[in-house]
Amino acid sequence: MGLQQKGGGALRAWAALCLLALAALPVQAQRTLTVAAFPSVDEIIRAAAPAWKALHPDVQLKVVSRQFADHHTAMTTALSTASNLPDVMALEVGYVGRFAQGGGLDDLSAPPFGLKSEAKRYVPFALAQGSNRHGAVVAAPTDIGPGTLLYRADLLARSGLAEAELTQSWGSYVAAGLKIKAATGAYLMAHARDMKDIVIRTGLRPGEGLYFDGESRVLVSSPRFVRAFELAREVRRQKLDARVIAWSNEWAEGFKRGTIATQMSGAWLAGHLNHWLAPSTAGAWRAAQLPEGAFVAYGGTFLAVPRGVPPAQKALAWDLIRLLTLERGMQLAAFKAQDAFPALLETFEDPFFGQPIAFLGGQPARLLWRDAARRIQAVAVHKQDAFADEVINTELDKVLDRGKDIHVALADAERLLQRRAHR
Amino acid sequence: MSRWPMPSGCCSAARTAEVPTMSAVPQPLGPQAHGASPRRVGWRLPRAWVPYVLLSPFLLLFAVFGVFPLVFSLWLAFQSWEPTSGLASMRFVGLENFVFALQDEWFWKSLGNTGWLALVSGVPQHLVAIPLACFIHAALRRSRNAMVGAYFVPYITSTVAIAILFSSLFSTDYGLINAALGVLLPGDPVDWLNDPQRIKPAIALIVFWRYVGFNLVLYLAALQTIPKDLYEAAKMDGASQLQQFFYITLPSLKPMIFFGVTLSVIGGLQLFEEPFILTGGRGGSDQAGMTTAIYLYRMAFDFNDFGAASAMSWLLFVLVVALTWLTHRAFNPRRKAD
């Protein structure tokens, strides 16, 4: 009997505990802020957890990480069904344009978010990239990718060339490539497409899109495309490109073996080269501005809040975005740890920018990239940009590989894009 | 009623004996048997429902993961939808997506690629698997299982692993294939994965290599069902090995050829993984390796056009059905017998 009473008491206590736990569950769920991210960005967010804990000791920060493509597919699906939405989602700049066209992301410049009063603290072009055509800021920039020309100083020296001969103009860049090929056997660039990608991004009028204008008119027959195709064709004719696509095995091997002399990319590529692509080439590389004074952005990460997030979470979501994008210490920590170039202007005067980079032979290249970041112009995005990019690359391949006439190629691209422009 | 068919007029005694057997199945005892009140003890599942209840886990999963996506994609094919705006942003557009798909150059290009790959990778699978199965069936005894296993391994290996392996093998500057070709035929290395003329044969080779073992197993199984008497009789009549193959083996294999070709047609038209991974998910230069399955995936997830992607998937479905029907017409042994 006594045992029975003891057992009954324990049972009651257990039941009471279960009830308490059940009652506490919804409270616990409200006290978690979920962030969906992809590699590198997920590390930056995890590193911010102690600061977040100090800010909101009662709110747990949960990071859901997926591979780059999987993450963006998952975010598309989550927004389309308004289910399993994270409170904050990281987006790569290429996806921001697409996502900004829909109504699935909140305007961070409207209450309860406070971006409106902080807008001037961001790098201007990055903020413009996070805005849609109605002026709503649907994503806050957390890192940017100022474009740069990375080159092998040792190959240049063996060819008797100075940096200025690479960067003076596109013509001098190609001419330098001929000398490099003759003296060292190395290719000037990985793929002629790399050159086209920069040239089509130069000489844009403010607010003009890359492939479409504000009224969805196709722009691919414009002189900047003709020139880009002509330069790329010249590079191929002179056999100055290795014909390898970025991120392929051959591309990585080309860097390791020193068969690719230059690469135009975002400043972050120096970090990739240093850490895993070609660490054995440390000291041989240098950075310069892109040829002919071109200033373009390569990549960049943004943070957005889905419209379907419960109102109670939105203030918390903004607090996290504020912490990650507007706190000087956080931005610099991400820059130092992950080569995530800051999108916050007030970090630009930090002494870290002037420090030498060992991989680049002690060059203080961050000053160069800072200058580029200040001079990059925003490019208006269009929902068909991804398709247009594919079409232009296809036509360029036909010009390079099969000798298709440039004007015919661009006319064909224009015809294809006109069918899609208003879909 | 007997559950198994029984020849008429056979074992009438046994049939009559079924009646008490069936009635011997334990039945719920009536109230009279117990002499108790007619109150039911508990809820019992009606007998007719039992099969459906037992099938319900499958039916439920099939409804969620099979029927719903089909219906939803059919619904989507008639909608214009900006997916990141949520489900509420759908707008009915009638047949617009189908018209767009049928006028889309890249859709036709992808169909051309798909047909080419299905033909070039599919036909040799059978042309090689049939004689190979005959050889293994006739010539090998102890090593047969090991040999069949070796051919079957690619089929059960992860597609991702295979595609990555072949990416390295086909590498222009550092690949084993070009290294071997360089020894045999010195010249410029072949750009297998970036040249539109080369990417298709490269993909076809992988698909052939992967599925020839599967077809080999099918044909070996079919060969084992052919009575040996036929071959003995043919030998006695003086038939050569070749005549035995063409007049006994091949006609006997026809039902299995029909089955194998049908699978190849369906699989070939839905080809996705190998070219997707080999071309970095983009379909290669000039979209030469872009199958229709890849294109409609890209339409949805890269170009955000779920409506057109759904319409294309239904057009592909119609094509698969039509070609399967044609295969049925060409190979169905019953039709020929009629």
Query: Which of B131, B272, B137, B114 is CA-nearest to residue B212?
Result: B131
Instruction: Tell me whether the omega of the peptide bond preceding residue B275 falls within 30 degrees of 0, making it cis.
Output: no
Question: Which of A69, A80, A394 minimises the CB distance to B83?
Answer: A80
> Helix, strand, coil proportions of chain B in percent (round to 5)?
70, 0, 25
Rounded to an integer, what distance in angstroms lies between the CA atom of residue A372 and that of residue A293?
A: 9
CB within 8 Å: B282 and A248: no
Residue B94: CB atoms within 10 A of its CB come to 9
Predicted confidence (pLDDT) per residue in B107-136, tens digit: 999 999 999 999 999 999 999 999 999 999
Residues of B in contact with A77 (CB under 8 A): 83
Predicted confidence (pLDDT) per residue in B281-301, tens digit: 889 989 999 999 999 999 998
Domains of chain A (ranges, CATH numbers) = 34-77+85-144+299-354 (3.40.190.10), 148-295+378-420 (3.40.190.10)
- Strand ranges (E), A219-296: 262-266, 285-288
Predicted TM-score (pTM) of this structure:
0.82
Q: Judge whether residue A20 has pLDDT over 70.
A: no
Rounded to an integer, what distance in angstroms lies between the CA atom of residue A148 and that of residue B266?
A: 48
Q: Given this model, what pLDDT does residue B5 score?
A: 38
CB within 8 Å: A249 and B167: yes
Residues of A in contact with B104 (CB under 8 A): 419
- Strand ranges (E), A113-156: 140-152
Question: Which of A77, A249, A387 minimises the CB distance to B303?
Answer: A387
**Tokens read off for B316:** 């592909």
Domains of chain B (ranges, CATH numbers) = 101-337 (1.10.3720.10)
Tell which wins on pLDDT, A98 or A386. Answer: A386
CB within 8 Å: A253 and B280: no
CB within 8 Å: A423 and B305: yes
CB within 8 Å: B104 and A419: yes
Rounded to an integer, what distance in angstroms lies between the CA atom of residue A289 and that of residue A363?
A: 13
- The B residues from 54 to 113 touching A (CB cutoff 8 Å) are 80-87, 89, 100, 103-106
Question: Which of B174, B194, B305 minimises the CB distance to A253?
Answer: B174
Say which residues have a Cβ less than 8 Å from residue B9's Cβ, sequence separation at least 6. Answer: none
Q: Given this model, what pLDDT does residue A27 score?
A: 47
Q: Judge whether residue B71 has pLDDT over 60.
A: yes
Site of tokens 């591979």: A67
Q: Judge whether residue A145 has pLDDT over 70.
A: yes
CB burial of A9-36 (b: ≥16 within 10 Å; e: otherwise) equals eeeeeeeeeeeeeeeeeeeeeeeebbbb
Q: Given this model, what pLDDT does residue A379 score?
A: 85
Rounded to an integer, what distance in angstroms lies between the CA atom of residue B113 and that of residue B272?
A: 12
Phi, psi of A266 (to 5 degrees): -80, 160
Rounded to an integer, what distance in angstroms lies between the CA atom of residue B315 and that of residue B110?
A: 13
Residues of A in contact with B196 (CB under 8 A): 397, 401
**Tokens read off for B18:** 């079924």
Question: Which of A98, A243, A247 minimises the CB distance to B304?
Answer: A98
Q: If you measure CA to CA, which chain A residue comes closest to B96?
A: A423
Query: Which of A211, A199, A198 is CA-nearest to residue A382?
Result: A211
Burial (0-12, 13-18, 19+ Cβ within 10 Å), A388: buried
Rounded to an integer, what distance in angstroms lies between the CA atom of residue B170 and that of residue B133?
A: 29
CB within 8 Å: A394 and B285: yes
* Gap from A399 CA to chain B (nearest CA, Å): 11
ipTM surpassing 0.90, yes or no? no
Residues of B in contact with A99 (CB under 8 A): 84
Interface test with B, best of A80, A83, A245, A382 (most B CBs within 10 A): A80
What is the DSSP secondary-structure string of B66-95?
A: IIHHHHHHHHHTTEE--GGG-GGG-EE-TT
Question: Which of B80, B87, B302 minimises the CB distance to A80?
Answer: B87
Q: How far apart are the first and last CA of chain A?
A: 78
Strand A32-37, strand A262-266: pairing: unpaired
Residues of A in contact with B80 (CB under 8 A): 423
- In this structure, of A347-356, A398-407, B27-36, B234-243, the range with the lowest mean pLDDT score is B27-36
